[in-house]
Amino acid sequence: MAPHLEFRIPISPTDGFFAQVRLFNFALRRLGGPYAGACLRVVIGDHCDLDAARRANPWSECDHVIWDRVPDAMFEEADIWGTANWRLSIPAGDADIVILSDADTVMLRDIDPLFDDLARDEPMLLGHMAHYPPPINRDDIPGGLEFWPAIFDRYGAPLGERLHRYSMDVDGSLPLAPAYFNLGFVAMNRLALEPLGLDIHWTDAWLKRRTGSHMRCQIALPLIAHRRGLTIKCIDAAYNSANDPIHYAHNNLAPGEIRVLHYLRETELDRRTFLLPSHIDAFLARDMTVSANRDLQQLVRLYRETL
C-alpha cells in the first residue's frame, strides 16, 4: 500500500507566495498515485487572516489542501523562523510521511525510492546536504573546522563520526559537517516528527542567542536528531536540486534526473514575481540558458494552461 504523504510549506500571505504554492500543488497532483491525494499543508505566519487567504486562493477548495495559521504568540516570538518551525509542531494525523518543502520548489518526478527507508520502524530523517556552512554572527562560537564540534558540545548532543561534504564544496576546501540539510526538501516519518516538534522551538531560541544565524532552522535539525537518536540519512541532489549548473554538475546530476527542483537562484527569474499574471508570459517567453530553468519553464507552460 502506498504511504499517505503530507507536504508542509511555510509562507507569508503575499501574492507571490500564493502563486508559488499553487504551482507546487499543480506539479504534485500531476504525478498521480499517492501524490494525487497527498495533503498539502500551507503554514502561514504574519498574523494572517486565514479566511482572506482562502478567498484569495479558490483553487485550494478541496480536501487535499489545508491552510494552517501560525499562532500569534509564536510569530511574535520567532517571526518567519517561527513560521518554518511551526510545521514541526503540527501532529502527523494520518500522514505516514511528512515532507518539509520550500515554496520555491516543485516536484518534477516522484520520490518513490525514499519510501522504503521512511517505512522503517524507527524515526527516520532524510535530506540533502546544504550548499555551504551556516553563517554565524556571534563571537563566542568558533567558526570553520571548530563550529560543529563546539555547537554540538554546548547543545549536549553527540556529534558522531559520520560527517559529510557540503553539496557545493567543489574544491573540497570546507570542513566536513554532520547531516546539515537544506530545508528545501526534508522528509521524515511520523516517528521522527514528534521529537523534532518537541524540541524545535526552544532549540531555535537557543541557537538565536548562541549563533545569531538566519540559518538556525537548518542548524536545529541535526542537533535535535542527534540528541534524540533519530536515524539520519543523506540523500542525493535529485531530491533537492538547485537551478544552478555548478550544483547539479558537482553532484553528478544529469538533465532529466531531477526529482525536486529548488529554483532558488535568480539569475533568470525573480521568485517573488515570475508566476504573477503580469509576469508569467514574459517568463515563458524568455530564452533560458540554465537547463533546470528550462525544466521549470516547461512545467509552468503546462500550469499556465490551467489558469
Residue 38 lies in a domain: yes
CB 136 within 8 A of CB 154: no
pLDDT by position in tens, the chain (length 307): 899 999 999 999 999 999 999 999 999 999 999 999 999 999 999 999 999 999 999 999 998 999 999 999 999 999 999 999 999 999 999 999 999 999 999 999 999 999 999 999 999 999 999 999 999 988 778 888 899 999 999 999 999 889 999 999 999 999 999 999 999 999 999 999 999 999 999 999 999 999 999 999 999 999 999 999 999 999 999 999 999 999 999 999 987 899 999 999 999 999 999 999 999 999 999 999 999 999 999 999 999 999 9
DSSP string, 77-94: HHHHHHHHHHTTTS--TT
Is 283 a member of any domain?
no
pLDDT value at residue 143 = 85
Examine residue 259 and state whether it is found in any structural domain, yes or no.
Answer: yes
* Backbone CA torsion sign across 280, 285, 287, 290: positive
For residue 254, the model assigns a pLDDT of: 87
SS3 268: coil
- The answer as to whether 84 is a domain residue is yes
Residue 306 within a domain: no
DSSP 8-state symbol, 288: -
> 60 near 35, Cβ under 8 Å?
no
pLDDT of residue 1: 82
Report the first-to-last Cα separation within the chain, whole angstroms.
34
Is residue 295 included in any domain, yes or no? no
**For residue 139, what is its C-alpha cell?**
563571537
pLDDT at 94: 96
Contact of 201 with 85, CB cutoff 8 Å: yes
Q: Look up the pTM and report it.
A: 0.97
Residue type, position 14, single letter: T
Domain that holds residue 225: 5-267
CATH number, domain at 110?
3.90.550.10
Q: What are phi and psi of 290, to 5 degrees?
A: -90, 125
3-state secondary structure of 201: helix
Residue-level pLDDT at 125:
99
Residue 239 maps to a domain: yes
Count of domains for the chain: 1
Is 289 a domain residue?
no
Q: How many whole angstroms separate alpha carbon 200 and alpha carbon 206?
A: 10
